[in-house]
Amino acid sequence: MNIQTTQMKMQKKQIKEHSDWSIYCRIILKLIMFLLAVFAVANSYIYLNQQIQNIERDNTKITRKIENIDREIKSLQNSYENASSRSMIDRQIARFNLKLREADHSQIKKISLNDGNLSGSSLADVGETLQNPEHSNYRRDVADAEPHVTRH
Amino acid sequence: MLSSNEKIKFRILLSVFAIMIPCLIYIICGLYHLQITEHEKYLLLAKRTYTATLKRDGKRGEIFSNDKFTLIANHPYVRLIADATHMEIAEHEQKAARLCADKLQMDYNGVLKKIRRKIIVRDRNGKEKRDSNGNLQLRKAPYIPLSRELSLSQKAELEKIIDEQNIKGLYFEHAYKRYYPKGSMLAPILGFTIYNNGRETPSFGIEKAMEKYLSPESAKALVEISRDGRKLIHGLSEDLSVKDGKNVYLTIREPIQAIVEDEIEKAFVEWKAKAVYAVLLDPKTGNIWAMAQRPTFDPNNRKTITAESTRPRIIADVMEPGSIIKPFSVAFAVDNNIVTPDTIIDCENGYWIYRGKPLTDSHRIGKVSVTEVIKQSSNIGTAKIGIMMGANNVYNNLRKFGFGQKTGIPLSPESNGILNHPSKWDGLTISRVPMGYALNVTPIQMVRAYGALADHGNLRKIRLIDRIEDTETKEVTVMPYEPPVQVFKNPETWDKIVTMMAQVTGPGGTARQAAVKGYEVAGKTGTSRKYSAGGYSRQYFASFVGFVPAHDPAFVLLVTVDAPKGRSYYGGTVSGPVFRAIAERTLKYLNIAPTVVKEEKKGK
């Protein structure tokens, strides 16, 4: 019997077994890494989805709040229109005997601002215009009108 | 070379593959067929199960005056809704009913009965479902309207109580309704809507005339629903992009409208009239600044609505105008040099027989100028001028001023009035038409014609709608101004006519009570008998129509009182003071300073 041959065969067998094991390990490791990657992606997807749902929920809440506020604004506007109507004011004047009357012509003066010459002007130009009435129609209009006076 | 063991293993493996691969191919083909080829069919089936179609309407457009006062608005309100499917035990139902009884003054037992009412279960095709015994399947109702309209403050109060007491199965539904913040102002013109099948349906007036602009667009969208039919908040849903209706701006000026409404209300009460109406027009544009009538109604309170109050008298009611039509025939005669303001006409001392029929004047006058004929409102003088004109000229002239035709106001039903062709006249009509009988006109026609007299003979189309605004894009479309039609041949005619008409409110005129201090008023009184079935009645239309300041008019105003009762029925006495009151206040509002009036001193 050749002991060296048997020993060599056993060594060869051991080496072969050892190399088979490392191959298996490598395969399994690759598989695990692949599964980990898939798990990570799935987890991220779920997390981001949850975040989206939370934001959508908040968005819905805020949208509803805005709609509620819009409704309240509309309701207040309508109440204002009702309260400021001429007939309502006349009723209040009569109710509280306020003795108010419409102004006579002599009690009202109006000035009108002609802004036709102001387009494109700078503030400096306007300032100069105000000081030099001959140079501008704007100042002339203002100068011709009497100041707004309400005399009682 | 393979060993026998290896050969066996290979054959086994081959057999397994020979069975597996066809199965695999079959499965893959099947999946392809289901997922790709039949995808649409199964997706549709699935959608029908887990989706529903949600429909929503936009908001109806609102109506404003020219100066942006709101005349018709959308007002938010809330309704209390019960969902019995969330009331699992009797205590939940009782709490909800108790809340309604305490806070909304509803009947406790009535509410409880409503909540406990069961509804029939139906399948997707609407067919009733039955159980194994053949009995109808019933379930609790998910949507039970409990309350009428609640305000937002009431809703806040109820919400607080629902949270505190942990009442289940109650929620609030938001909606909008039409609201009229100015109450009865302009009500017969604006009209109103009726809530019908989830939509506001217009009944008449501006609401109906402008329906194509005011009505919103609705949108439908697929939404994901749960097993019990509720919309999933975070489920799949399409965007519901509804489009609100457009806003309409009228030519009406709210403060002036308020003045007119106020004054005709006083006249309506004072004269116990059947009706009173007034129209105020800008002669330079044809814009109506105010139009009002009594009786009226408050659209916020439907109990005030009657047939009489909703009738749009200003466009639909016809009347024989009487003396207010006299200036038109005289204007034609002056314009065509048939007469001049100084031509002398024999008014026969107030009594004249023409073709066997008597014609009388309320004031006995003899031979006077055409100016005096207008000033004293002589029927005989005007009849003679009409006879001088000839029937065809009388007819054509009135047609030129818009009588016998619609004015183009965007409201219905508008009457044409009645102006018969001369071929249908008898021998007497030629004497009657120029003084305002044998024809029928509407108030709006009369105001329009006087607008031509006020604006140098320019007859304009009536404008009531000024502009339309898109609520989303804010784009504004202004309704067009149509070019006027000139009714005078001679440009000097206008001044002559206005000067004559200004005498009416001056000393010796029939409308001293319509004179406005500090201003020259050009106008005409009219008192016409009402015609009803069987003949002329003892009731009258008392009118005054005029414009001020006479030679640069700011506005034309017509006031008519239908069947006044009391100390007088004459236009000058009844309608003249109303005209004066409205004109004074409107001139102040418009800040039109008094004009200098030369007073003619008699005999000096």
pLDDT tens for residues B368-420? Answer: 999 999 998 999 999 999 999 999 999 999 999 999 999 989 998 899 999 99
Residues B282 and B150 both lie in one domain: no
Is A86 in Cβ contact with B259 (below 8 Å)?
Answer: yes
CATH classification at residue B161? 3.30.70.2110
Q: Which residues of A touch B233 (CB under 8 A)?
A: 57, 60
Residues B454 and B564 both lie in one domain: yes
- Say how many residues make up chain A: 152
Residues B387 and B509 both lie in one domain: yes
Residue B421, domain extent: 254-589
CATH classification at residue B464? 3.40.710.10
Residues B167 and B266 both lie in one domain: no
Q: Where are the domains of chain A?
A: 1-101, 103-152
Q: What is the mean pLDDT of residues B54-75?
A: 90
Q: Look at phi and psi of residue B535 and say left if phi exceeds 0, alpha if psi is from -120 to 50, else beta.
A: left
8 Å CB contact between B510 and B572: yes
Which of B5-14, B157-166, B492-501 is predicted with the least confidence, judged by mean pLDDT? B5-14
In terms of pLDDT, which residue wins out, B595 or A55? A55
Q: What tokens were used for A81?
A: 């229109």
pLDDT at residue A109, rounded to an integer: 74
pLDDT at residue B241, rounded to an integer: 73
Is A60 in Cβ contact with B588 (below 8 Å)?
Answer: no
A6/B127 Cα distance (integer angstroms): 88
Judge whether B29 lies within some domain. Answer: no
pLDDT exceeds 70 at position A131: no
Task: Choose the mutation target among B182, B253, B262, B517 for the interface with A, i.e. most A CBs under 10 Å.
Answer: B182
Which of A96-110, B407-421, B472-486, B555-569 is predicted with the least confidence, judged by mean pLDDT? A96-110
Label the pairing between strands B247-250 and B344-346: unpaired
Is A87 in Cβ contact with B591 (below 8 Å)?
Answer: no
Q: What is the mean pLDDT of residues B436-463?
A: 94
8 Å CB contact between B465 and B210: yes
Q: What is the CA radius of gyration of chain B?
A: 37
Residues B266 and B357 both lie in one domain: yes
B384/B367 Cα distance (integer angstroms): 12
Is B234 in Cβ contact with A85 (below 8 Å)?
Answer: no
DSSP B37: I
Tell me the helix, strand and coil percentages in chain A, rounded to 5.
80, 0, 20
Domain count, chain B: 2
pLDDT at residue A122, rounded to an integer: 45
The complex scores an ipTM of 0.76
- Reduced to 3 states (helix: H, G, I; strand: E, B; else coil), residue B459 is strand
Residues B260 and B158 both lie in one domain: no
8 Å CB contact between B222 and B52: yes
Residues B146 and B292 both lie in one domain: no
Average pLDDT, chain B: 88
pLDDT tens for residues B100-159? Answer: 888 888 889 998 998 888 888 877 677 888 888 888 888 888 888 887 788 888 888 998
Judge whether B214 lies within some domain. Answer: no
Judge whether B501 lies within some domain. Answer: yes
Final residue before a domain boundary, out of B181, B216, B240:
B181
Residue with tokens 């016998």: B404
Question: Which residues of B lie closer than 8 Å to A, measured between beta carbons?
Answer: 69-70, 73-76, 151-152, 174, 179, 181-183, 185, 233-234, 254-255, 258-259, 261-262, 518, 585, 588-589, 591, 593-594
